[in-house]
Amino acid sequence: MTVRISAAAMILIATTAGCGGTQAQNDAKLPPIKPQAASLKDGFSTMDRLVEAARKEGSLTVIGLPRDWVNYGEIIDTFSEEYGIKVNQVEPAASSRREIEAAAQLRPDVFDLSLEVAVANAPMFAPYRVQQWMDVPDHLKDYGGRWYAGYGGYMSIGYDPRKVAPPASYQDLLKPGYSVSLPGDPRQTAAAFNGVMAASLSAGKAEAAKGVAFFGRLKKAGNLAANERAATVVVDWDYHNAERAAHEANGWKVAIPGDSVLSAYYVQAISKNAPHPAAARLWQEFLFSDRGQNLFLKGYARPVRMEALQMRGTLDAEAAARLPVTGAKPVILTIPETDRAKTYLKKAWAEKVG
């Protein structure tokens, strides 16, 4: 039997074949993939090629990311489902310092660190500038691209309104009836350390000696609780207090008093020895995308690109409306200020607070 093909069909076949050939030729013209390159353009040319390279690696190892911390559970699941990449979570409760100590043994691909730990260990990280690099403020990123802030928060006062009046200032916590707690030992826990510094904030300046003296006065007044369970007030990051307020039936409230507020950001970094370098870079692109930043916001953290999202109309307005309201000006401690303050706390806390 003879099969007859019309002229139109012949033209269509020829056109399709030509398109296929052109596409193959275009792919052949692209430079080879460089998984350890310092940008998407230099290493992969396109997001599609980055995704393809990451999928071939198949997995990503993260460290120090509790699933209930700033919505990391949903962030991890969304990334894994979106790209078909298995996320291995090691030592979720690891502190920033522990992440660095465990890196040689556990070999994470990426880190989530406090600013001072990231700065001190910058040689461990591979330079990589995400596509949204220009949206990250200069003072919150390494010029060489080795680390860059992803999300942060404001120090706040969480309180039980059934038992205490809303505090208008940190000084109110010295009044009878308040039972105040920090989220840990300020000599060991970053949130507790910043709680001490926040209590000292005046005219945009924080002083360790004033903060330690304040908590010494709290203890002398009988207002310093042994732990959070015994407290009616917890000085902690607003993303912790806000999440507690959203889930507790007792009506937990959050206050950010004063005209200035202590702020801090956690930074992201890629291990220089990442076993999955393409997946590590895809993870960063995801975290700094509009979608990733809004997922941090959903966890009550303040995404570093928040201003850019607002300007472009891509901010999750509903999630933003749930953040504690404040008109206070954020103050971020410099690395030297942090180092001096921590040195003072190590010497003075036991003596003046116990």
The pLDDT, as a whole number, for residue 27 is 56
CB atoms within 10 A of CB 34: 14
Residue 347 has pLDDT above 50, yes or no: yes
Query: Is-contact 326 261, C-beta < 8 A?
Result: yes
pLDDT band at 25 (very low <50, low <70, confident <90, very high): low
Model confidence pLDDT, tens digit, residues 249-281: 678 999 999 999 999 999 999 999 999 999 999
In whole numbers, what is the pLDDT of the chain averaged over residues?
Answer: 91
Query: Is-contact 256 245, C-beta < 8 A?
Result: no
Q: What is the DSSP track for 67-107?
A: TTSTTHHHHHHHHHHHHT-EEEEE-TT--HHHHHHHHHHH-
User: Which range among 173-182, 205-214, 246-255, 272-281 shows the weakest confidence by mean pLDDT?
Assistant: 246-255
The pLDDT, as a whole number, for residue 5 is 41
- Rounded to a whole number of angstroms, the distance between the first and last alpha carbons of the chain is 98
| Distances in whole angstroms, Cα of residue 62 to Cα of each of 39, 67, 84, 112, 163 | 20, 12, 16, 9, 40
Q: What is the DSSP track for 113-152?
A: EEHHHHHHTGGGEE--B-TTGGGS-GGGB-TTSS-EEEEE
Across 145-151, average pLDDT: 98
pLDDT band at 12 (very low <50, low <70, confident <90, very high): very low
Burial code (b: 16+ CB inside 10 Å, e: under 16) for 285-294 equals bbbbbbebbb
Residue 6 has pLDDT above 50, yes or no: no
The continuous run of DSSP H or E covering 21 comes out as: helix 7-29
The pLDDT, as a whole number, for residue 227 is 81
Across 169-193, average pLDDT: 94
pLDDT band at 203 (very low <50, low <70, confident <90, very high): confident
CB atoms within 10 A of CB 172: 17
More confident residue, 63 or 11: 63
Across 313-339, average pLDDT: 95
The pLDDT, as a whole number, for residue 15 is 42
Residues 277 and 171: their CA atoms lie apart, in Å, by: 49
Tell me the pairing of strands 260-271 and 329-332.
parallel
Which 8-state DSSP code applies to residue 305? T
Residue 201 has pLDDT above 90, yes or no: yes
pLDDT band at 226 (very low <50, low <70, confident <90, very high): confident
Residue 316 has pLDDT above 70, yes or no: yes
Query: Percent of the chain having pLDDT more than 90?
Result: 86
Query: Is-contact 112 84, C-beta < 8 A?
Result: no
Which value, to the nearest 10 degrees, does the dihedral of the CA atoms of residues 69, 272, 137, 311 take? -70
The pLDDT, as a whole number, for residue 29 is 76
The pLDDT, as a whole number, for residue 26 is 55
Q: What is the Cβ-side half-sphere exposure of residue 8, based on CA atoms within 13 angstroms?
A: 0
Beta pairing partners, 202: 205
Across 92-119, average pLDDT: 96
Residues 75 and 151: their CA atoms lie apart, in Å, by: 13
Residues 276 and 11: their CA atoms lie apart, in Å, by: 46
Residue 1 has pLDDT above 60, yes or no: no
Residue 8 has pLDDT above 70, yes or no: no
Across 63-91, average pLDDT: 97
Which 8-state DSSP code applies to residue 3? P
The pLDDT, as a whole number, for residue 28 is 62
pTM of the model: 0.89
Across 206-222, average pLDDT: 96
Across 86-97, average pLDDT: 96
